[in-house]
Amino acid sequence: MSTSSLVLILVVVAVVLIAALVTGVVLTRRRRISLTQKEEAPKPGGYEASSGISLAPAKPEPVEHPVADRPEVDGQPGVGDDASEPRDSVKRGFVEVDLPEEASEVEEIEPTSGRLERLRGKLSKSRNAFGSSLLGLLGAGDLDEDSWQDVEDTLLIADLGAATTTEIVDTLRSKIAGSAVRTEAEAQALLRSVLVDALHPSMDRSLKALPHSGKPAVLLVVGVNGVGKTTTTGKLARVLVADGRTVLLGAADTFRAAAADQLETWGKRVGAETVRGPEGGDPASVAFDAVKRGMDAGVDTVLIDTAGRLHTKVGLMDELGKVKRVVEKQAVVDEVLLVLDATTGQNGLTQARVFAEQVDITGIVLTKLDGTAKGGIVFQVQRELGVPVKLVGLGEGADHLAPFEPGAFVDALLG
């Protein structure tokens, strides 16, 4: 072997060794970086609760002195802590204690993560009327003007509304013109991305239901009668309890006693206390009492169910405004959730506009989506109000309330 060949071999070996060394260092660093990111990167606006519904406090929590960081010595308590009982203190004997009866009634709650996927079958009416026809039309290849008209009609019939429909059709037309969509799978991928975009996936859908500043979060549930306010309040209590939160319910729907009974039953099922007032009493005073009781009891969240109609001539909106103002004497109202019945179409939208003008709606709960072929109302409501749909009701079952996720929703519609 010549000297030059030997030198060449040595150079190649040296290069291989250096490359292996560099790759090893990079891999080790990457692994460390990804771990750190996982541990430290917080979700914007809150954290992803194990419940699958993203919960967040409305305001940053004041930083409390963490117990682990206390500069205590030898396990001695720090300032402000209770001293542990001396080991030689007199011990109590055994005492018969009756267990609370309610405990046995507290129910198992279905995990809330992935609920929208599990309940996708409940959207079958909308899927059949909307998803299947659209996929059929778009997957058929070159679309003539009549086919585009059919696409438009399908969107309108599904209650997406004129503005959203025009926007979606225009986007589809330009994207299809710029790419060769020939198969149903290609059409599905394109349609999915256009529909998801139209649902503004970046909107903050976290529920401001976590306590802050040492006080419970307060959520008002509003809407006209019969839309599912009480049911939603009860289902929401279950979601929070499943996430390990303590909840108190306020029955500020004093219009009918049955509403308070209904709410109390929901509360008992998850071990939550319900504060109620006399039938026909002042809703604002019940709401005030509920928040006070919630603060005294140190619960995480107070959920207040309001009336959808009234005894007196005082307008519903005036009454809601009063409830909110009275609550705000003690605590911040973190969320005003407007409940809308998806089956009522334009009527629901008209109600939504009235509520949105009068009270600061922070989120929408769209109920009874299981009972309609017009799931497209989700697009319209969000567009009209500029407020995110945060939750959807998909049935009468106690756990048929799901976080609204644009991707999972569109997947359910497209089958």
Binding-site residues for GTP sit at: 223-230, 305-309, 367-370
Q: Based on the shown chain and the rule CB under 6 A, indicate whether residue 227 belongs to the binding site for ligand GTP.
A: yes
**Are the beta carbons of 271 and 106 closer than 8 angstroms?**
yes
Q: Which is nearer to ligand GTP, 70 or 268 (CB)?
A: 268
Closest CA to 138 of 373, 414, 335: 414
Overall residue count recorded for the chain in this entry? 415
Closest CA to 320 of 331, 333, 387: 333
Q: Based on the shown chain and the rule CB under 6 A, indicate whether residue 226 belongs to the binding site for ligand GTP.
A: yes
Going from the C-alpha of 75 to that of each of 66, 81, 88, 178, 201, the distances in angstroms are 15, 12, 18, 70, 49
Residue of the chain from 81, 279, 360, 396 that contacts ligand GTP (CB under 6 A): 396
Residue of the chain from 229, 238, 374, 390 that contacts ligand GTP (CB under 6 A): 229
Closest CA to 186 of 111, 239, 135, 234: 135
Q: Taking the CA atoms of 78, 217, 260 and 322 in sequence, report the sign of the dihedral they define.
A: positive
Going from the C-alpha of 237 to that of each of 101, 137, 246, the distances in angstroms are 20, 42, 9
Q: Which is nearer to ligand GTP, 368 or 374 (CB)?
A: 368
Q: Would you list which residues are annotated within the binding site?
A: 223-230, 305-309, 367-370
Residue span binding ligand GTP (CB under 6 A) among the ranges 21-29, 138-146, 291-299, 363-371: 363-371
To ligand GTP, the closest distance from the beta carbon of 48 in angstroms equals 24
To ligand GTP, the closest distance from the beta carbon of 61 in angstroms equals 32
Structure tokens that stand for 40 in this block: 């430290």
What strand order describes the sheet that includes 363-367? 273-276, 247-252, 301-306, 217-222, 333-341, 363-367, 389-393, 401-403
Q: Based on the shown chain and the rule CB under 6 A, indicate whether residue 274 belongs to the binding site for ligand GTP.
A: no
Residue span binding ligand GTP (CB under 6 A) among the ranges 87-95, 222-230, 268-276, 325-333: 222-230
Q: Based on the shown chain and the rule CB under 6 A, indicate whether residue 394 belongs to the binding site for ligand GTP.
A: yes
Residue of the chain from 230, 351, 372, 382 that contacts ligand GTP (CB under 6 A): 230
The total of other beta-carbon atoms located within 10 Å of residue 127's CB is: 20
Q: Based on the shown chain and the rule CB under 6 A, indicate whether residue 279 belongs to the binding site for ligand GTP.
A: no
Residue span binding ligand GTP (CB under 6 A) among the ranges 269-277, 356-364, 368-376, 405-413: 368-376
Q: Based on the shown chain and the rule CB under 6 A, indicate whether residue 286 belongs to the binding site for ligand GTP.
A: no
Residues 6+ apart with CB under 8 A from 384: 161, 349, 352, 353
The total of other beta-carbon atoms located within 10 Å of residue 193's CB is: 14
Residue span binding ligand GTP (CB under 6 A) among the ranges 99-107, 291-299, 395-403, 404-412: 395-403
Long-range contacts of 184-190 (CB under 8 A, 24+ apart): 184/135, 184/138, 184/139, 186/139, 187/135, 187/138, 187/139, 188/135, 188/139, 188/414, 190/138
x-or-dash string of contact with ligand GTP, 157-196, rule CB under 6 A: ----------------------------------------
Q: Based on the shown chain and the rule CB under 6 A, indicate whether residue 343 belongs to the binding site for ligand GTP.
A: no
x-or-dash string of contact with ligand GTP, 289-318, rule CB under 6 A: -------------------x----------
Q: What's CA 67's distance to the chain center, in Å? A: 31
**Are the beta carbons of 78 and 70 closer than 8 angstroms?**
yes
Residue span binding ligand GTP (CB under 6 A) among the ranges 46-54, 191-199, 211-219, 393-401: 393-401
Whose CB is nearest to ligand GTP? 393
Q: Which is nearer to ligand GTP, 276 or 368 (CB)?
A: 368
The residue to which tokens 């996982």 are assigned: 38
Q: Which is nearer to ligand GTP, 141 or 226 (CB)?
A: 226
Residues that bind ligand GTP (CB under 6 A): 223, 225-231, 253, 259, 308, 367-368, 370-371, 393-396, 400
